[in-house]
Structure 1
Amino acid sequence: MKITLAQLRLLAAAVETGSVGAAARRCGLTQSGASQAIIALETALGVELLARTRDGVTPTAFALSILDDAEAALDAARRIEAQARAAAPGRRLRIASVPSVAARLLPGWSRSLRQLYPGLELSVFEGHHIEVGEWVARDIADVGLAAVAPAGLAADPVRDEELVLVGPRGHRLLRQAAVDLGTLDGQTLVAAGLGCDSILERLFAPAGVPLPPLIRVHDIATALAMVGQGLGLTILPDTAFPRPDMQDLRTRPLSPLSHRRLYMIARPDRQASEPVRRLLDIARAGDGALRRQAG
């Protein structure tokens, strides 16, 4: 009888999500590959593990009885992998980041980190807020930089970035020195990137203002192009775009002054590693308020 860690990881994900398809995506498999892996595990054990229903899957009593042991095996494997990485002569750090941070802030942070660790191999993967969290959770990246902190991951605050309204030159709302959130009722907002919905919801809800209709796009460049065509307005962190590229677009601060919080996201077994802690220190260096909060 042969049981693999990949099978146990897939079983745990299927039990947690209630779906083989969702478990497959989390584990980086196709749905058919995940189904075959579950069937192979059931065949090796000689018992059924998941009961298929119209709405997904539910664990059998036997699956529930072995789940703690499966999680313990996965935890032990992760600890062994972490120890092997620490003992390896060469070190690497895989960083997942939202594009605005990867383009404007991460290059300087990376240079400072390399000065501390000349032999450190750095890899940067750009994705949106939701993707960054998923990549860290699936161990595709060691650490992530995003404004959405997923459950189950360690999330350390890095800095607060001011949010500004971006619109075409001459738009009536941009004639004001600052734009009240209440005046955006009835406007269309262009949301750039996965995860921006939740950031905008956290912005509007405390002000008691309904979230305007959204046009969802993949990246900031597309959002700015749509705003330039008069299809809507967008709200972005002030560091997200270079001023020379604004052309006929203009920005205004929001009233009340609004921010998004950037987090450094890591799995609990990676949070304490020395390069990750040093990167957090470097990223926080320009924000005294967050340094005092962390201390």
Structure 2
Amino acid sequence: MRFDLTDLKLFLRVIDSGSITAGAAHAHLALASASARIRGMEEALGVPLLVRGRRGVEPTEAGRTLLHHARQITQQMERMRADLGEYATGLKGHIRLLSNTSALTEFLPDKLATFMAEHPHVNVDLEERLSTDIVEAMRDQLADVGIVTDAVDSSGLETRLFKEDRLVLALGLAHPLAKGLRRNAVLPFSACVEYDFIGLAGDSALQQYIGEQGSRLGHRLRYRVRLRSFDAICRMVASGAGLAVLPESAVVRSRDAANLKVVRLADPWARRRLLLCMRSYAELPGYARELVDVLAAPV
């Protein structure tokens, strides 16, 4: 059984993209060459590594085992490159960072920009995912660092505090729920689910998280419109079109903050801490450890 680094990197890219075609493109290989390499690995092992379907490919149990070892080998190569970086020029590091919506939109950009300005030879592959999916990906060694809410089980991973992140209810001043509410009022989410909502467009991790809370109460939330930014949502809420659940920081910095009533939610899931998570800080490449240090540093 002989696999080279090209085989292993190709297999990682195929699994990450869910497609041999896309994996071949990311590995800069012709599709025929990539397919031949995958078949060669399967023949060498004597077992299938991929389940092929109409929607793409998924790893078999043997494929998941290979995936685990391929991650370790490629990460070891990255660590070696980082450790030798002071003796060579032109080497680049690569960090795969997974983040939930709140961290990605509210807290991450400034700190990440600072890190990247100080590390021009390090590339960051940033992807938005649900916190539960991020934890699973970290355990499977599919990423270097993740940012998740403390509501998910991160056992088996090392964590550091990134930010405090409270979700609040944003209401227009004329909204029926806003009338009669005292300052510093707190409401349960169950008091809101019958009303129309304004939400984020696309497959937002935060939107899925809020939808899950409604489902637990037996309600499918009604969205009048979905928009692409927190600021746009605040403007729509201020106009009276509906209410929204948003990170408190997004509402406070909104240009329409004066036209909104902000109500804290009584539900425990709304009081969140955002955590940096990783399998092992000590085993990360040096530049990835520096990223963790920058993100964990207090403002």
Show the counterpart of 1:41: 37
* 1:72–1:168 CA distance, 2 compared to 1 (3 A): same
**Aligned partners of 2:22 and 2:155: how far apart in 1?**
14
**Aligned partners of 2:54 and 2:98: how far apart in 1?**
36
Show the counterpart of 1:259: 271
Show the counterpart of 2:246: 236
| 1:161 has 2:165 as partner | yes
- Secondary structure, counterpart of 2:178 in structure 1: helix
**Aligned partners of 1:120 and 1:58: how far apart in 2?**
35
> Aligned letter for 2:159?
D
Q: CA deviation at 1:74?
A: 4.2
Show the counterpart of 2:177: 173
1:156-210 superposed Cα distances (whole Å, 9 cap, x missing partner): 252432211112221111232333322113223333361114432565577x463
| More displaced stretch, 263-272 vs 90-99 | 90-99
Give me the identity figure in percent: 17
> Aligned letter for 2:284?
R
8 Å contact 2:195–2:243 — kept in the other structure?
Answer: yes
8 Å contact 1:161–1:259 — kept in the other structure?
Answer: yes
Q: CA deviation at 1:84?
A: 1.7
> Aligned letter for 1:212?
L
Q: CA deviation at 1:58?
A: 7.3
**Aligned partners of 2:293 and 2:80: how far apart in 1?**
19
- CA RMSD, 1 decimal: 5.2
* 1:36–1:171 CA distance, 2 compared to 1 (3 A): farther
Aligned mate of 1:87, from 84, 88, 103: 84
8 Å contact 1:82–1:270 — kept in the other structure?
Answer: yes
* 1:212–1:69 CA distance, 2 compared to 1 (3 A): closer
- Secondary structure, counterpart of 1:77 in structure 2: helix
| 1:270 has 2:266 as partner | no
| More displaced stretch, 76-85 vs 44-53 | 44-53
- Secondary structure, counterpart of 2:82 in structure 1: helix
**Aligned partners of 2:155 and 2:18: how far apart in 1?**
17
> Aligned letter for 2:187?
V
**Aligned partners of 2:42 and 2:195: how far apart in 1?**
59
**Aligned partners of 1:189 and 1:155: how far apart in 2?**
36
**Aligned partners of 1:163 and 1:23: how far apart in 2?**
36
Q: CA deviation at 1:78?
A: 1.6
8 Å contact 1:99–1:127 — kept in the other structure?
Answer: no
| More displaced stretch, 218-227 vs 165-174 | 218-227
8 Å contact 1:155–1:263 — kept in the other structure?
Answer: no
Q: CA deviation at 1:79?
A: 0.8
Q: TM-score, length-normalised on structure 1?
A: 0.62
Structure 1 unmatched ranges of 5 or more = 287-295
* 1:186–1:11 CA distance, 2 compared to 1 (3 A): same
**Aligned partners of 1:220 and 1:7: how far apart in 2?**
43
**Aligned partners of 2:213 and 2:221: how far apart in 1?**
12
Structure 2 unmatched ranges of 5 or more = none
Q: CA deviation at 1:262?
A: 1.2
* 1:180–1:34 CA distance, 2 compared to 1 (3 A): farther
Q: CA deviation at 1:236?
A: 1.0
Show the counterpart of 2:192: 184
- Secondary structure, counterpart of 1:251 in structure 2: strand
| More displaced stretch, 189-198 vs 144-153 | 144-153
| More displaced stretch, 183-192 vs 266-275 | 266-275
* 1:276–1:228 CA distance, 2 compared to 1 (3 A): same
Q: CA deviation at 1:234?
A: 1.0
